[in-house]
């Protein structure tokens, strides 16, 4: 009745029908976490087993059953969960225990999810490598000496290792796309405004980051995307809620492969070959896949991005300016840059962003979706803070090696990260498949067809001591 790499939709259907009890699922989930999490460090702030079993027993007695009834979930440690330590990976918040749920967390709870703990993240979510001074580093399940990516690294590893069936993530600069690719699972960055963030602070200016679901199939992502979205009267830019399931049938699409953006994005050997081979899963579904020349200046996108990103990050960190001794170097770098910009510099960055938006709109008149790799390098050493060079080309910032995600992030486009396969060293890579704003449902349907061709999370799970599974 319980399969660690099975469908989340099957699990909730069995929980709803009584074929599987919440107690049985919770017991199996916690046993697997006990066996595997010590070597992975994906789930942190794990709650007391007795408390969780009592909540599972209460779920079995309940007569009202929501879409996620009885399903164990761990929430990314950037989001507030009532009664759970919410550290953001920072010693400054090590003892902070929120007294209420964040907006999307409250929606998951109302749908019946049982929160077992948190998933690990980098400090303040900065950098695509999950380590912090509170909980330490999360390890890649395919090679424990390698990074799992980030900032939704703990979530991706928990999914990849079969510790949970669904996970939440958030994504500013590839924070759920890169870890999905490096852990052989799926991550979805929805159209900006689809999943509204907590209505605190500024509600208008910083349209870069978004919350989104992660799973082991696009169909399961759709299950979570029917719970997380929806307008909130305090969020003026939130989109109206639209049903995602069932996913529609997909007519043959015209898909553009952008590769390394005409050489603008340096790639480690093997990445492009692995990704191009993965494109055959789309061709096998009857879609037309063709190479596309760079549609816009990668450097102008980058210039706009790093200005608006620092502007947004500094807005979140400025209250901690007098405690910068407790901040990591990259957080201080973002804070200082963001506080230094003039209004006209922000406007110039927004002008570049607007130019890219206009060009992208033209591009999507000819293509239903576009494709890029999820990262420019393979999972790197756990001991490395970030890659300093790719193929001998020096990286001029802590995040330049993730430049490949910025065309999507800058415009808030819907983007599905899918597993692409494995390189020569047995490490995973992923593809970003993205479309025009609002095309979330058709993009997930395209991804589900891809999944039915590949089924990589189920066919090629990581080999872990004590798991009983492997490649």
**210 domain residue, yes or no:** yes
Average pLDDT over residues 54-70: 95
pLDDT bracket for residue 347 (50, 70, 90): very high
**3 domain residue, yes or no:** no
pLDDT bracket for residue 469 (50, 70, 90): low
**37 domain residue, yes or no:** yes
Q: Are strands 166-171 and 393-394 parallel, antiparallel or unpaired?
A: unpaired
| Enclosing domain of residue 58 | 8-459
**467 domain residue, yes or no:** no
Q: What's the number of domains the chain is made of?
A: 1
Instruction: For the chain, give the mean pLDDT.
Output: 96
**328 domain residue, yes or no:** yes
Whole-model pTM: value is 0.97
Give the catalytic positions in this structure.
76, 151, 175
pLDDT at 470 over 50: no
Distances (CA, A) of 238 to 211, 232, 282, 406: 12, 7, 32, 22
pLDDT bracket for residue 64 (50, 70, 90): confident
**1 domain residue, yes or no:** no
Structure confidence by residue, pLDDT tens digits, 293-334? 999 999 999 999 999 999 999 999 999 999 999 999 999 999
- Residue 176 is part of a domain; what is its CATH number? 3.90.1300.10
**465 domain residue, yes or no:** no
Long-range own/partner contacts, residues 267-270 (CB < 8 A, 24 or more apart): 267/373, 267/376, 267/377, 267/390, 267/391, 268/376, 268/377, 268/378, 268/390, 268/391, 269/391, 270/378, 270/423, 270/424
Helices (H), ranges, 123-171: 153-160
The secondary structure of 321-384 as a DSSP string is GGGGGGS-HHHHHHHHHHHH--HHHHHHHHHHHHHHHHHHHHHTTT-SEEEEES-SS---BTT-
pLDDT at 163 over 70: yes
Query: CA 140 to CA 177: how far, in whole Å?
Result: 15
**471 domain residue, yes or no:** no
Query: Position of tokens 């080999």?
Result: 463
């Amino acid at each position: 009745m319980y399969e660690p790499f099975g469908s989340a939709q099957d699990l909730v259907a069995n929980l709803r029908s009584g074929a599987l009890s919440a107690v049985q699922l919770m017991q199996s989930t916690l046993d697997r976490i006990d066996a595997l999490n010590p070597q992975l460090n994906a789930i942190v702030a794990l709650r007391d087993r007795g408390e969780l079993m009592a909540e599972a027993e209460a779920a079995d007695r309940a007569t009202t059953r929501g879409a996620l009834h009885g399903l164990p979930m761990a929430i990314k440690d950037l989001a507030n969960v009532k009664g759970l330590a919410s550290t953001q990976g920072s010693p400054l918040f090590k003892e902070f225990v929120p007294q209420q749920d964040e907006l999307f967390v409250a929606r998951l709870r109302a749908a019946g999810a049982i929160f077992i703990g948190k998933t690990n993240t980098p400090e303040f979510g900065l950098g695509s490598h999950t380590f912090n001074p509170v909980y330490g580093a999360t390890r890649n399940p395919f090679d424990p000496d390698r990074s799992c990516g980030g900032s939704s690294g703990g979530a991706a590893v928990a999914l990849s290792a079969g510790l949970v069936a669904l996970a939440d993530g958030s994504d500013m600069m590839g924070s759920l796309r890169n870890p999905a690719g490096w852990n052989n699972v799926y991550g979805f960055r929805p159209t900006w405004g689809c999943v509204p963030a907590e209505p605190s602070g500024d509600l208008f200016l910083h349209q870069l980051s978004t919350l989104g679901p992660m799973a082991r199939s696009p169909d399961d992502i759709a299950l979570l995307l029917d719970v997380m979205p929806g307008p909130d009267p305090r969020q003026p830019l939130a989109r109206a809620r639209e049903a995602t399931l069932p996913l529609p049938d997909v007519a043959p699409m015209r898909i553009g492969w952008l590769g390394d953006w005409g050489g603008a994005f340096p790639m480690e050997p093997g990445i492009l070959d692995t990704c191009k081979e993965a494109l055959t899963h789309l061709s096998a579904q009857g879609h037309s896949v063709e190479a596309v020349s760079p549609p816009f200046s990668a450097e102008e996108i980058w210039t706009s991005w790093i200005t608006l990103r620092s502007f947004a990050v500094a807005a979140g960190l400025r209250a901690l300016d007098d405690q910068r001794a407790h901040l990591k170097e990259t957080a201080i770098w973002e804070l200082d840059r963001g506080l230094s910009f003039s209004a006209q510099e922000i406007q110039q960055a927004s002008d570049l962003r607007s130019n890219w938006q206009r060009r992208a709109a033209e591009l999507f008149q000819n293509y239903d979706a576009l494709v890029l790799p999820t990262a420019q390098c393979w999972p790197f050493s756990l001991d490395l803070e970030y890659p300093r060079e790719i193929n001998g080309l020096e990286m001029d910032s802590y995040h330049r090696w993730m430049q490949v995600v910025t065309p999507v992030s800058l415009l808030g486009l819907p983007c599905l990260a899918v597993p692409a396969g494995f390189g020569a060293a047995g490490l995973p890579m992923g593809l970003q498949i993205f479309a025009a704003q609002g095309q979330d449902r058709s993009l997930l349907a395209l991804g589900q067809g891809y999944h039915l061709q590949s089924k990589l999370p189920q066919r090629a799970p990581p080999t872990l001591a004590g798991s009983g599974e492997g490649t």
